[in-house]
Amino acid sequence: MAHALVFGASGILGWAVVDQILKSYPQKGVFSKVTALTHRPLSLQDSQWPKPGGTNPELALVSGIDLTQGTVEDIKQQLRERVPDIGTVTQIFYFDFPTEQEINVAMFDRGFVAAEAVTPNLSYVILPTGTKFHKGYGIHQPQRPFKAPFNEPMNEIPQPYRDELFYFALRDRLNVLQKGKRWNWAEVRCDIVVGFLPHSNPYNLAGFFINYLSLVAFVKGRGTKVPYPGHPDGWNTLSNDGGQDIFARFSLYLSLNPDKAGASELYNIADTSDGHPMSAKWPAICEYFGLVGVPPLPLGDPAYVSPAQFLEQHKEERRQMENQLGSKIQQVDLMTGLDVWLMNFDFDHHLALDKARSTGFVEEGTPTRSWLQTFDRYRAAKKVWLAS
């Protein structure tokens, strides 16, 4: 049976991989154990993962391994001490990323290189990319080189932009490390990641919307009309969100089917094969909170208040809401950055999923399923206010 080692297990994607394994995806008896590595302490209760053991796989929750410090030998020693059965690991999901390229590569050189050296039964590795607003397809360039839907052959963007992204540096490192080894690896990419996580995350758009819409519901009540807070042109542009569950299941599927996944391959994944506009999502998102989602205001409209501004303007009401919830709302570190991001997406940015489908993975969601499921998870954590 398989044993998964998940770096960054409290992050939005790592959390979902652990969750799916503990729910016995793809079926009972495939995974015997998942070892979840987190830097910050995390309790099983706060994680909201299913209870391990019994008919579910075993869970080892290991906190405190800091990949920003020490040497490869230091990390190898910590892994041997903290994960006594490290030698039985068959899959590694390396989902531990900060933001700067130099830090990412140095962390990878400590974490993955150390883990690979002490896992003789390793068969497959999954590296996620695309969570940094899809720069892998060059949309951060002054002149975007590609038009959506984006497919995998578009991945090789020119210099100097290639060097700005740590995705490519990690890809290059994995290709070097894999030579002559029995294990293979794949890169899995999605667009906007929609999901729950137990800790803070600077790019958590779902948490950002939850904080904003909960406070609107608390301050203004049921039936309040809420314009989409993004660029007016973004109301009808196409995207296909990457729900954390479908990302996790596809990653697990590839890792368990190396003959289909191949070596050093990049795969797009999303909830739906087709792109859908925010006009198909925002009304349902707002309805969850007892609100009415309506189209965005024109640019420059004096009535426009961004989500971050609204949260700042209503600090006292936010404290009152948190007191009644009995919990702090989700910490989102880059709220003003997400305001800016919402105003930047005035163009189609959906992904083509033909390559993922060619592997035999055909799961298809809906434009809103991941959003509503994420809201349910945060509600269980007492971080959602619904209008009464």
Asked whether residue 176 falls in the same domain as residue 313, the answer is no
Provide the pLDDT for residue 249. 98
Phi, psi of 148 (to 5 degrees): -70, 155
Provide the pLDDT for residue 162. 60
- Domain for residue 15, yes or no? yes
Asked whether residue 250 falls in the same domain as residue 261, the answer is yes
- Better-predicted residue by pLDDT, 154 or 263: 263
Q: Which residue segment(s) compose the domain that 206 sits in?
A: 197-239+275-347+366-380
Provide the pLDDT for residue 164. 60
- Domain for residue 71, yes or no? yes
Asked whether residue 44 falls in the same domain as residue 174, the answer is yes
Residue 203 has pLDDT above 90, yes or no: no
Section 186-203 average pLDDT: 89
Asked whether residue 109 falls in the same domain as residue 67, the answer is yes
Residue 257 has pLDDT above 70, yes or no: yes
Asked whether residue 165 falls in the same domain as residue 255, the answer is yes
Q: What percent of the chain has pLDDT over 70?
A: 91
Residue 156 has pLDDT above 80, yes or no: no
Chain centroid to Cα 218, Å, comes to 28
> pLDDT band for position 109 (50/70/90)?
confident
Asked whether residue 225 falls in the same domain as residue 372, the answer is yes
Section 128-147 average pLDDT: 61
Q: pLDDT tens, 31-60?
A: 999 999 998 899 999 999 998 988 899 999
Provide the pLDDT for residue 229. 97
Judged by DSSP in three states, 113 sits in helix
- Better-predicted residue by pLDDT, 337 or 366: 366
- Domain for residue 175, yes or no? yes
Class of residue 169 by CB neighbours under 10 A (exposed 0-12, middle 13-18, buried 19+): middle
Tell me which of 76-85, 226-235, 265-274, 325-334 is least confident. 325-334
- Domain for residue 388, yes or no? no
> pLDDT band for position 132 (50/70/90)?
very low
Q: pLDDT tens, 361-387?
A: 999 999 999 999 999 999 999 999 999
Provide the pLDDT for residue 138. 58
Provide the pLDDT for residue 134. 47
- Better-predicted residue by pLDDT, 229 or 338: 229
pTM of the complete model: 0.94
- Domain-ending residue, one of 226, 249, 268: 268
Angle, alpha carbons 142-146-152 (nearest 5°): 125
Distance CA 150, CA 137 (A): 7
Phi, psi of 208 (to 5 degrees): -60, -50
Asked whether residue 18 falls in the same domain as residue 76, the answer is yes
- Domain for residue 159, yes or no? yes
Q: pLDDT tens, 292-301?
A: 999 999 999 9
Overall domain count for the chain = 2
Residue 184 has pLDDT above 70, yes or no: yes
Class of residue 163 by CB neighbours under 10 A (exposed 0-12, middle 13-18, buried 19+): exposed
Q: pLDDT tens, 299-315?
A: 999 999 999 999 999 99
**The pair of three-digit structure tokens given for residue 386, joined into one six-digit string:** 């619904």
**Residue 152, CA atoms < 13 Å, CB-side half-sphere:** 17
> pLDDT band for position 100 (50/70/90)?
very low
> Mean pLDDT, the chain, as a whole number?
91
- Domain for residue 180, yes or no? yes
Asked whether residue 219 falls in the same domain as residue 326, the answer is yes
DSSP code, position 151: -
> pLDDT band for position 104 (50/70/90)?
confident
- Domain for residue 88, yes or no? yes
Asked whether residue 44 falls in the same domain as residue 116, the answer is yes
Residue 142 has pLDDT above 70, yes or no: no
Asked whether residue 170 falls in the same domain as residue 310, the answer is no
Alpha-carbon dihedral angle through residues 23, 123, 104, 142, given to the nearest 10 degrees: -90
Asked whether residue 257 falls in the same domain as residue 230, the answer is no
CATH number for 78: 3.40.50.720
- Domain for residue 172, yes or no? yes
Distance CA 152, CA 49 (A): 33
Angle, alpha carbons 70-75-79 (nearest 5°): 155
Residue 131 has pLDDT above 50, yes or no: no
Q: If you average pLDDT over each of 42-56, 100-114, 136-150, 328-342, which comes out highest?
A: 42-56
Residue 213 has pLDDT above 90, yes or no: yes
DSSP H helix total and E strand total for the chain: 14, 13
- Domain-ending residue, one of 223, 249, 268: 268
Asked whether residue 235 falls in the same domain as residue 106, the answer is no
Q: What percent of the chain has pLDDT over 90?
A: 76
Judged by DSSP in three states, 207 sits in helix
Distance CA 116, CA 44 (A): 27
| E-state strands within 134-222 | 184-189, 193-194
